[in-house]
Homo-oligomer: A and B are copies of this chain.
Amino acid sequence: MAGRVTISDIAKAAGVSKTTISRYLNGNYGYMSAETRARIEEIIKKYNYVPNSIARTLKSKKSGMIGVIVNTLRYQVGAQTVTGINDICTKNGYGTIVHCTNGDRRAEETAVQLCLNQQVEGFIIIPCENSVAPYLEICERGIPVVICTRRLDDWPYGCVYVRHDELIQKMLLHLKEQGFEKVRFLLDVHDFHKEAMAGFFSAASAELFGMSREESIRWVGRESPAVCEALDALLHEYPGQSKAVMAVNTHTLFLTLRELERRRIRIPHELGVCGYDVIGWSELVYPGISAIRQPMDRMGIIAAEKMMESLREQRPTQGACALEGSLFFRNSTNLKAL
């Protein structure tokens, strides 16, 4: 029956008013005799009383909850970010309400509304689209927002992101140095920041390989067939030129490697391969797959810490934090050593 004890029961048992109990609960000991305080403490222990946080929230508008809105938890990127967020929030006495948007702007809108309605005290969002308007609106209500894994233009508040532009640029430079003549980027339509990634890649490939965006980018989904088709096409294009493919996330990289293995394509002779890999398996696949790794758990941790800070100091979130990713060059793009 622990859950049924209310502040009135405690007040009665302690022989004081609800007001005094409430003050005790909120740590306002200043206005309280030591005896009263001790008595209340004892009674609360005895009755195993836990204040009802819903009632508290209704009155105070503070729920102790953070709204976390991500694309999906299905893949490591989102899951690890949320893990980091969860750890920090829990440590600070906050709970999280997690919603997945699957990249759908309307689902994101709904998720925000639901969280708002639950009186969340802050939002950590991996956004679907580029417009900052909806997030600014939240901030205007006085609710802090941290944007995660992206850097949005015109976003004056806190955000954490990875320098994908640099990572992609460096990977392409490496491919160029290794003597590759054409590159292609396999993008996932469901990805967090497909557009931004496409932009980085096409810019770098235009500069280094003289390729147009139409040449260098292909959109594939989470499903195998699209990846297979894209690879089939690439293998037949640019005859006589050395080509490389880059996969935008771990899953796409997996599908790519599986298809190349099925076709017995020799890597890197017939096709160079590289991509993002959060997990590390690419290291173990023959002949060793060159990969970009992003520190997803740190991203969540830093985002949540920014949120905690903002809540503590009662101000909007602030500061853009750029995280470094890591590059691993392995034999899958090593044309020169052969």
Contact = CB atoms under 8 A, between A and B. Distances in A.
Given A79-B74, A95-B118, A58 B50 contact: no
A63 B58 CA distance: 13
Nearest to A57: B54
Interface stretch (A180-188, A196-204, A237-245, A279-287): A279-287
A334 to B, nearest CB: 17
A83 B73 contact: yes
Interface residues of A, number: 48
A284 B261 contact: yes
A96 B97 contact: yes
A98 B100 contact: no
Tell which of A95, A116, A258 has the most Cβ of chain B within 10 Å: A95
A251 to B, nearest CB: 8
21 contacts: A3-B141, A50-B117, A52-B58, A54-B58, A54-B117, A55-B58, A58-B58, A72-B83, A73-B80, A73-B82, A74-B80, A79-B79, A82-B98, A90-B99, A90-B100, A98-B98, A258-B284, A279-B281, A281-B281, A281-B284, A285-B286
Given A54-B58, A76-B79, A95-B118, 19 more contacts: A3-B117, A54-B54, A54-B118, A72-B83, A73-B73, A73-B86, A74-B80, A74-B297, A78-B79, A79-B79, A86-B99, A86-B100, A95-B99, A254-B284, A258-B280, A258-B284, A261-B284, A281-B285, A285-B286
